[in-house]
């Protein structure tokens, strides 16, 4: 086995790179992409420099793997921008601060409001149906409300 690892040709590196890139397609989440590109790069370097010692091939593979991963990690962090819609995909967050009329009375701390075409469960002080309430928070799918003055 050690003999095989000391006699790697550019085909072996290209095959490893291709295998890693194929595995990446099946959902590795980006982890194998950079290692696969590093293996392919070592394959190209080995093709250009066929007398490259096996130890240098492994060193280049390791360095290129780390460098490409760190480069991409830094690029992703610098490109991340805060969303202009922080409440996106958080149903109910757009209702906070708005006023509604109780659809069903709040009894024992539970009731319902109608917001648009949806009924929402609410929690708050006991109030009769038809009362004006303001949404002050959210606990999962239950909105917290208070009576409007």
**Which tokens in the block code for residue 18?**
């291709």
Half-sphere exposure of 20 (CA within 13 A, CB side): 19
pLDDT tens-digit profile of 97-136? 999 999 999 999 999 999 888 899 999 999 999 999 999 9
pTM for this model (two decimals) = 0.52
Domains annotated for the chain, with CATH where assigned, are 2-79 (no CATH), 93-147 (2.40.50.140)
CA distances from 98 to 33, 55, 63, 127 (A): 47, 67, 56, 17
Residues 138/93, Cβ–Cβ less than 8 Å: yes
């Amino acid at each position: 086995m050690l003999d095989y690892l000391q006699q790697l040709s550019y085909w072996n590196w290209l095959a490893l790179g291709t295998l890693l890139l194929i595995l990446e397609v099946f959902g590795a989440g980006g982890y194998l992409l950079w290692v696969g590109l590093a293996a392919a790069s070592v394959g190209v370097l080995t093709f250009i420099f066929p007398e490259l010692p096996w130890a240098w091939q492994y060193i280049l593979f390791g360095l290129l793997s780390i460098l490409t991963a760190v480069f991409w990690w830094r690029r992703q962090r610098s490109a991340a921008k805060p969303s202009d819609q922080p409440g996106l995909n958080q149903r109910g967050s757009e209702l906070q601060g708005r006023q509604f009329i109780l659809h069903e009375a709040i009894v024992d701390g539970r009731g319902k409001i109608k917001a648009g075409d949806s009924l929402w469960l609410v929690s708050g002080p006991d109030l009769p149906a038809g009362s004006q309430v303001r949404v002050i928070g959210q606990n999962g799918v239950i909105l917290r409300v208070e009576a409007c003055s």
